[in-house]
Amino acid sequence: MIRLNIQDEIAPLERVVLGRADSSGPVPELKDAYDPKSAAHIKAGTYPKDEDMVQEMEALNQVFQKYGVTVYRPELIEDYNQIFSRDVAFVIDDKFMIANILEDRSREIEAMKPIINQIHPDKVLYFPEAAHIEGGDVMPWGDYIFVGTYYGENYADFITARTNLKGAAHLQKLFPHKKVKTFSLKKSNTIAEENALHLDCCFQPLGQGKAIIHKEGFLVEEEYEWLVNYFGKENCFHISKKEMYDMTSNIFSLAPDVVISEKNFDRLNDWLHKNHFKVEEVPYSEIGKQGGLLRCTTLPLERK
């Protein structure tokens, strides 16, 4: 059986599910794009090719091998996007949560069945139909679970609003001993620079008490201030609108002092080095064209 243990975003990684890009299917029709960044690249004719994304994911896989991490991959579904494994499921403590995602993407979880079958059935939990939630919005952090959501009554108008308050409320019910702290995120169906698709698109806690944050990604200033006060202003690396668009907060911690980052994030990577992190740099910009990056393509199952 697969052992599950996720208490936070930074403890040394033991096991992870890495998505796959070897048969993502044809370039989607513009009307079928799930987010404004993908739509922009479909329009511009720069939508990423499978072979380039496979190469990038293999570079990430090599880093996992270097650190002795056990890597699982979903089964292949021909002509189907299976890149962002974090969207479809996530782990908190020793529970494997199956997310409530967009209906069009429901087959992704089917491809993870061989992995889920190695988890004790009592540890696999589902959400009620009306409780929407995706893993990119959920961050376990010790006694807290940080959850990105959207409070507006026009929630249903946004394909980019992926986690609702019912999803957060159900999470609180499942983990009564933790504090679920919600953050209302800025959403746009059409302008990628104005859209925080998930919480990890505008915020990421790191080891050594540090965090990456984009102020404009939060709709409620007090919630942004709460995070800055929690981590301490001097410990927060603030990213610009352009850096948010490039997914600069969407990196991945292998350990409290080891971070995997995109190789072109010069300003962030310099800051990480100065703050005594070991930075494993990988090329990931083609995958970034679909509105997700390193955290989105990884589903951690066990950290020490």
Distance CA 36, CA 53 (A): 19
Q: Which residue has the higher pLDDT, 100 or 118?
A: 118
Token pair listed for 128: 């009620």
Confidence of residue 190 (pLDDT cuts 50, 70, 90): low
Assign a CATH topology to domain 13-303: L-arginine/glycine Amidinotransferase; Chain A (3.75.10)
pLDDT confidence of residue 160:
63
CB 173 within 8 A of CB 164: no
**Segment 39-98, tens digit of pLDDT:** 788 888 888 899 999 999 999 999 999 999 999 999 999 998 899 999 899 999 999 999
| pLDDT value of position 199 | 96
Phi first, then psi, for residue 75 (nearest 5°) are: -65, 150
Average pLDDT, the chain: 92
Task: Provide the pLDDT for residue 88.
Answer: 92
Can you give the pLDDT at residue 29?
Answer: 81
Under 8 Å between Cβ of 184 and 161: no
Q: Is the pLDDT of residue 143 over 80?
A: yes
CA–CA distance from 31 to each of 106, 115, 285 (Å)?
Answer: 19, 33, 23
pLDDT in tens, 201-247: 999 999 999 999 999 999 999 999 999 999 999 999 999 999 999 99
Q: What is the residue extent of each domain of the chain?
A: 13-303
- Local structure of residue 30 (DSSP, 8 states): G
For residue 43, what pLDDT is reported? 82
pLDDT higher than threshold 70 for residue 32? yes
Q: Give the ranges where 15-174 is alpha helix by DSSP (H).
A: 36-44, 50-66, 85-88, 107-110, 113-116, 165-174
Under the banding of pLDDT at 50, 70 and 90, the label for residue 194 is confident
